[in-house]
A and B are shown apart, each in its own frame.
Chain A
Amino acid sequence: MTVRKNQASLTADEKRRFVAALLELKRSGRYDTFVTTHNAFILGDTDNGERTGHRSPSFLPWHRRFLLEFERALQSVDASVALPYWDWTVDRTARSSLWAPDFLGGTGRSRDGRVTDGPFAASAGNWPISVRVDGRTYLRRALGASVRQLPTPAEVESVLAMATYDMAPWNSASDGFRNHLEGWRGVNLHNRVHVWVGGQMATGVSPNDPVFWLHHAYVDKLWARWQRRHPGAAYLPASGTPDVVDLNETMKPWNDTSPADLLDHTAHYTFDTD
Chain B
Amino acid sequence: MPELSRRRALTAAAALTATVGVQTVSAPATTAAGAAGGHDHGSPASFDEVYKGRRIQGRPTAGGGHHGGGHHGAGYAVFVDGVELHLMRNADGTWISVVSHYDPVSSPRAAARAAVDELQGAKLLPFPAN
Contacts and interface: CB of A to CB of B under 8 A. Distances in A.
Contacts, number: 114
Interface in A62-107: none
Interface residues of B, number: 35
A48 B37 contact: yes
> What is the interface of chain B mostly: helix, strand, loop, or mixed?
loop
B23 to A, nearest CB: 20
A46 interface: yes
A: interface residue count bin: 35 or more
Interface in B56-113: 70-72, 86, 88-92, 98-104
Contacts of B90: 47, 55, 172-173, 184
B127 interface: yes
Contacts of A172: 90-92
A173 B92 CA distance: 6
> What is the interface of chain A mostly: helix, strand, loop, or mixed?
loop
Interface of B: 1-2, 4-5, 8, 37-39, 70-72, 86, 88-92, 98-104, 118-120, 122-125, 127-130
Interface of A: 32-33, 36-37, 39-40, 42-44, 46-49, 55, 112-113, 130-136, 146-147, 169, 171-173, 183-184, 190-192, 194-195, 202-204, 206, 252-253
19 contacts: A36-B1, A36-B2, A40-B8, A48-B38, A49-B37, A131-B129, A133-B125, A134-B119, A134-B123, A134-B124, A135-B122, A135-B123, A135-B124, A172-B92, A190-B102, A202-B99, A202-B100, A202-B102, A204-B99
